[in-house]
Amino acid sequence: MSTLQQRRNRPVRWWTALAAAIVVIGAMLSVTHAATAEEEPDALAQAAKIPNDQGPAPECAGSTAGHVHNVPDKCHADMGGPANGDFIDIRQVRPAGRGSQAGRQASTGTFVSVCGTNTEGHHNSDNFIVAPGVTNGAHHTHDYVGNVSADGNSTNESLAAAGTTCAKDDRSTYYWPVLRRTGKQGSDQNNDGGGKDGNVGIILKPASVRLEFGGNSQAKVRAMPQFLRIITGDAKALTNGPANARAKWTCSGLTNRTTTKYPLCPRGSQIQRILEFPSCWDGKNTDSANHRSHIVFPNSSGRCPRGTVAVPQLRMVLSYERQNGTGFALDSFPEQLHAPITDHGDFANVMSAQLMNFAVQCINSGRRC
């Protein structure tokens, strides 16, 4: 028998070759995955490098622990702003593309906490998260909904014991810098956080406030711990740069167009501020030294970074009646010149375990609650 005939009669062991190929490909994928995991930056470690600078400069702090400090005039000086370049016609903003695609384990439901629009007039220029125990720690005025006791001296105990404007007895506190109609003096012209800090104008009451907790595009969410504190945005983004800015401005009916500038909206449309909060928790801490390194944002694929777990993501949508021209501005630290990129928000979770678990069940099951 010829050599050619012997080869033709020999069984073709194609499966052996296929198995070998699978082993090789699997090894290559394992190496690639390991390299990717090693190369992925430690998001919590990166967040820990961000300065703790969201409160006042030390020399600009007001009263602390009952002691009144002499504050230099520079801490209150009206430095101007906003500039004409801080405004843009929303129709000149390009529509955004789609976000990360939902995975098989996505948590697609929502829970909305209904807390009103601060018709009670709960305002102060404190910030118990970034400047605890400090009076006028923000040098700008905040709108509050939810917990009715929130001020610079708030503690876990005082928040838990207080009433709330929210339904379902959600005693959490939600707050953000006020928006003003400029060109006229407001009732707080001579007050800290108002005219004394260069924030001049009539405070605009939101037409609506939506406080929505959503899920994660790649995973189910876990319950937030009670008293978890979260901040979003950078109140000093004008001088710090945009790295930690999270300002999003838009107009109703055109919400696929967002900008870091003040939007000039067409008639019939409302000004909207969108504040999205980080939602990948380290699983241990309710706060951190810079108020950022215990909870971070998902990565570009929507996944929570290693060392973190997904919790409900708070999304605030604050809507205001359209203003004529450029006659409106955000409260800010004086040196931030009322720049729209400095928009920011704060949240402290004071929901009961029962209410938080209900929210998690809604989100993980894809319901709208």
Q: Quote the CA–CA distance of 348 and 172 in Å, as a whole number.
A: 6
pLDDT at 14 (0 to 100): 45
Radius of gyration of the chain (CA): 26
pLDDT confidence of residue 70 = 56
What was the pLDDT predicted at 53?
72
Cβ count within 10 A of residue 136: 26
Judge whether residue 20 has pLDDT over 50: no
- Residue 220: CB partners within 8 Å, gap ≥ 6? 105, 107, 310, 364
> What does the longest C-alpha to C-alpha distance in the chain come to?
110
Separation CA 104–CA 100 (nearest Å): 13
Q: Give the C-alpha separation, 301 to 133, whole Å.
A: 39
Mean pLDDT score, 183-205: 94
Per-residue model confidence as pLDDT tens digits over 167-180: 999 999 999 999 99
**What is the reported pLDDT for 317?**
98
Min mean pLDDT across 77-81, 103-107, 285-289, 364-368 is at 77-81
Q: What is the pTM of this model?
A: 0.85
Domain extent listing, the chain: 43-364
Position 92 pLDDT exceeds 80: yes
The mean pLDDT of the chain is 87
